[in-house]
Amino acid sequence: MKRPVVGVIGNAYLVENRFAAQLVGERNLRAVAEVTGALPVMFAGSPDITEIGALLQAVDGILLTGARANVHPSRFGTEPHPRHEPYDTARDALALALVEACVARGVPLLGICRGLQEMNVAFGGSLHPEIRELPGRLNHRMLRLETGEIHPDPAVLFGDRHNVRLVSGGAFARLFGQETIRVNSLHGQGILDPGERVVVEGVADDGTIEAIRIADAPGFALGVQWHAEYDPQRNPVNRSLFQAFGEAVSACKRVAE
The DSSP letter of residue 70 is B
Q: Partners of 222 in the beta sheet?
A: 110, 213
Say if CB 212 and CB 219 are below 8 A apart: no
pLDDT at 146 over 90: no
Pinpoint the alpha helices (H) of 106-221. 114-122, 154-157, 171-176
Report yes or no on 206 lying in a domain. Answer: yes
**Domain encompassing residue 64:** 5-130+189-256
Query: Which residues neighbour 122 within 8 Å (Cβ) at sequence distance 6 or greater?
Result: 95, 96, 97, 99, 100, 195
pTM listed for this prediction: 0.93
Check 72, 84, 140, 227 and give the catalytic one: 227
DSSP for 18-48, written as a single string: TEEEEE--HHHHHHIIIII-PEEEEE-S-TT
Domain CATH number, residue 211? 3.40.50.880
How distant, in Å, are the alpha carbons of 72, 87, 129 from that of 82? 11, 10, 11
Element (DSSP H or E) covering residue 242 = helix 236-256
Report yes or no on 13 lying in a domain. Answer: yes
pLDDT at 129: 82
pLDDT at 186 over 90: no
Cα–Cα dist 36/28, whole Å: 11
Q: How many domains does the chain have?
A: 1
pLDDT at 42: 97
pLDDT at 65 over 90: yes
Q: Partners of 203 in the beta sheet?
A: 165, 209
Q: Beta strand 61-64 with 5-9: parallel, antiparallel or unpaired?
A: parallel
Report yes or no on 157 lying in a domain. Answer: no
Check 130, 201, 210, 229 and give the catalytic one: 229
Q: By percentage, how much of the chain surpasses pLDDT 90?
A: 73
pLDDT at 191 over 70: yes
Cα–Cα dist 27/196, whole Å: 31
Report yes or no on 112 lying in a domain. Answer: yes
Look up 179 and say whether it is catalytic. Answer: no
Look up 229 and say whether it is catalytic. Answer: yes
Look up 227 and say whether it is catalytic. Answer: yes
Beta strands (DSSP E) in the chain are 5-9, 11-15, 19-23, 39-43, 61-64, 109-112, 126-128, 162-166, 180-183, 190-193, 198-204, 209-214, 221-224
Check 72, 113, 118, 140 and give the catalytic one: 113
Q: Beta strand 126-128 with 190-193: parallel, antiparallel or unpaired?
A: antiparallel
Over residues 174-197, the mean pLDDT reads 92
Cα–Cα dist 42/58, whole Å: 12
